[in-house]
Structure 1
Amino acid sequence: MKSIKRIHKAEYRPIADLVTYSPLPTRSLQQIDPFIFLNHHGFQTYPEHNHGLPFGPHPHRGMETITFILEGDIMHKDSSGHESVIGPGGVQYMTAGRGLIHAEVSSSQFKKKGGDLEILQLWLNLPASKKMVAPQYVGLQKEEIPSFELDGEKVKVQQLFGESHGTKGAFLGQFPLNMGTYYLEKGGKIEVEIPEEENVFFYIVRGELKVNGEEIRFRNLVEFSNSGSKISVEALEDSVLILGFAKPFNEPMVAQGPFVMNTQKQIYEAYEDYQAGKFGSWKG
């Protein structure tokens, strides 16, 4: 079994009236290469005639986002011409690459009617060789994402990247990555094999799990050592888990605002290119 190095509790970091917790980065954990940032918005219930999500037009370069919509919806629009509204159970995958401008807001229907909201966004770094690839975006509804069941249907898995149990992931990433969203009923058990050379991203969204014998509640990120190749999970109550693993890049990383590059000079260039209009034009 892989040993648990440390359990990182998500810090409360509200954004306007949006309830937000973040376990990465914190003072105790800068990154789990190539996983570099996570915001967990909600759970909360919005009233009728609300303002919705506050993420208006902003730029990115040199990184990717994976957005998990558990409750509510999110409307994506970007300067490359992509636009979609993804609802509960859906996932969005965006490669910023050489640069784009995007907005992530609630649909007009959600702002009018309100409702429950719980959304997570994970940032992935890009290797130096892929920092300047063309921007890409794919948004999929719940029914469009390949899934499978384990442990007598007590565990349901959305396979997002890579392949597991004969099911290929919904998205083709810029580097080898295996990732899924795990929905576990109380009593559900799984054992996951992970190569020793790969780093693990393990975040409990809801519920409580017994992880390699240790009981851990939601809004905690579990940091594992690389030695060992198995992680054992048992749901002590109905739970949701995001689990991914990939080889670390072991490259220098400079993250500043919405840009994630390899050097400070590249960060300056990103700001200059954005101000010069090289990220595309924004049509509101």
Structure 2
Amino acid sequence: MRKIIRISDAMTAHMPGLKTWRALPVPGISQLDPYIFLNHHGYEEFPANNQGLPFGPHPHRGFETLTFIVEGELVHQDSQGFSSRILKGGVQWMTAGAGIIHSETSSDEFLEKGGPMEILQLWINLPAAQKMSPAHYQGFQKEEIPELRIGEGFKLNLICGTYDGSEGPVQSPYPQFMSTLEAPAGSRLHWDSKTEQIFFYLVKGSIKVNGREMNKRQLAQFEGSPGSMDIEVLDDAYIILGEAEPINEPVVSYGPFVMNSEAEIQQAIMDYQAGKMGRWTES
């Protein structure tokens, strides 16, 4: 079985009007190459006549963002002309590449009526050869994501990559596998991994993985070699499970930019200021 190096709690990082926990980076884990950042917003109930999500227009360059809508909704708009409203169970995947400006907010309906909200955003690095690839957005509702029954009682939602002859809808310039797992208490799963890196985050519930107990908002770091995982669900669980080969390149980040050198960060700032990542216009 694949050895667990550590299990880390997400850190409190609340924002005005939004409960937030940061699961990556945390003390002891600066990154899980190519996974570099994870924020977990909610669960919380928004009242009627609320302010909604606070993520107004901002730029990105050099990586990809994957947003999981566990509860509620998310409205995306960007400088490339993409826009969508993704509901519970769906995902948004944005390849920032050479640069893009986007916003992640709430619909007028949600602002008026309120409701439950739980979303997570994962940043996935791109290798140097792909950092300046064209920006692109993909949004998929729950019903557009293949749902596979695996193990004893597990449901695998296949977002990116392939599994048992099925293919996820997301296309990424960097080869990888990404999914979510849902299972009630008592479920079991044996998972064989053939990659060096695993991303394994427990959104909610409690489980045992390779004999170690995990509870909600915890991240597991595994040793960097292929191996297996045995998962036993103790309390209804929702898991993010990804696999990829490490990029093994220098990572230099500054706010919304993730590059390989300080010079590239300075260039990203100048390009943004010069409008080379697009101009923002409200739809």
- TM-score w.r.t. the length of structure 1 is 0.97
Give 1:174's aligned residue: 173
User: 2:238: which partner in 1?
Assistant: 240
User: CA shift at 1:148, angstroms?
Assistant: 0.5
Contact 1:3–1:228 (8 Å) recurs in 2: no
Q: Which amino acid aligns with 2:171?
A: L
Please give the secondary structure, in 2, of the residue aligned with 1:272. helix
Contact 2:196 2:225 in 1 (8 A): no
Partner of 1:161: 160
- 1:271 aligned counterpart, secondary structure: helix
Q: Is the 8 A contact 1:24 1:30 kept in 2?
A: yes
* Identical aligned residues as a percent: 48
On the 8 A contact 1:147/1:167 being kept in 2, the answer is no
1:202 to 190, 200, 206: 200
Aligned to 1:35: 35
Query: Which amino acid in the other structure matches residue 61 of structure 1?
Result: R
Shift of 1:26: 1.8
Aligned residue type for 1:164: Y
CA distance in 2, matches of 1:192, 1:226: 16
Deviates more, 1:223-232 or 1:55-64: 223-232
C-alpha change, 1:279 and 1:44, in structure 2 (3 Å) is same
Separation of aligned partners in 1, 2:245 and 2:36: 13
**Aligned match of 1:263:** 261
Deviation, 1:129, is: 0.4
Give the Å deviation of 1:192: 1.2
Aligned to 1:54: 54
Question: Which of 221, 228, 231 is 2:229 aligned to?
Answer: 231
Partner amino acid, structure 2, of 1:176: P
Query: Are 1:114 and 2:124 matched, yes or no?
Result: no
Aligned residues: 282
Question: 5+ unaligned residues in a row in structure 2: which ranges?
Answer: none
In 1, Cα distance between the equivalents of 2:82 and 2:224?
38
Task: State how 1:24-173 maps to structure 2 within 5 Å.
Answer: 24-151=24-151, 154-173=153-172
In the alignment, structure 1 segments of 5+ residues that lack a partner are: none
- Structure 1 residue 191: Cα displacement: 1.2
| TM superposition shift of 1:262 | 0.3
SS at structure 2 position matched to 1:112: helix
Kindly report the root-mean-square deviation, in angstroms, between the aligned alpha carbons of the 2 structures: 0.9
Residue identity opposite 1:170 in structure 2: P
Whether 1:6 and 2:11 are equivalent positions in the alignment is no
- Stretch deviating more after TM superposition (36-45 or 222-231): 222-231
Shift, 1:228, TM fit = 4.8
Q: Secondary structure at the match of 1:134?
A: coil
Deviation readout 1:21-44 (Å, 9 max, x if unpaired): 011012321100000000000000
Could you tell which deviates more after superposition, 134-143 or 184-193? 184-193
The answer (yes or no) to whether the contact 2:209–2:230 under 8 Å persists in 1 is yes
Aligned amino acid, residue 42 of structure 2: G
Q: Quick one: which amino acid aligns to residue 234 of structure 2?
A: L
Structure 2 SS opposite 1:149? strand
The alignment partner of 1:270 has SS state of helix
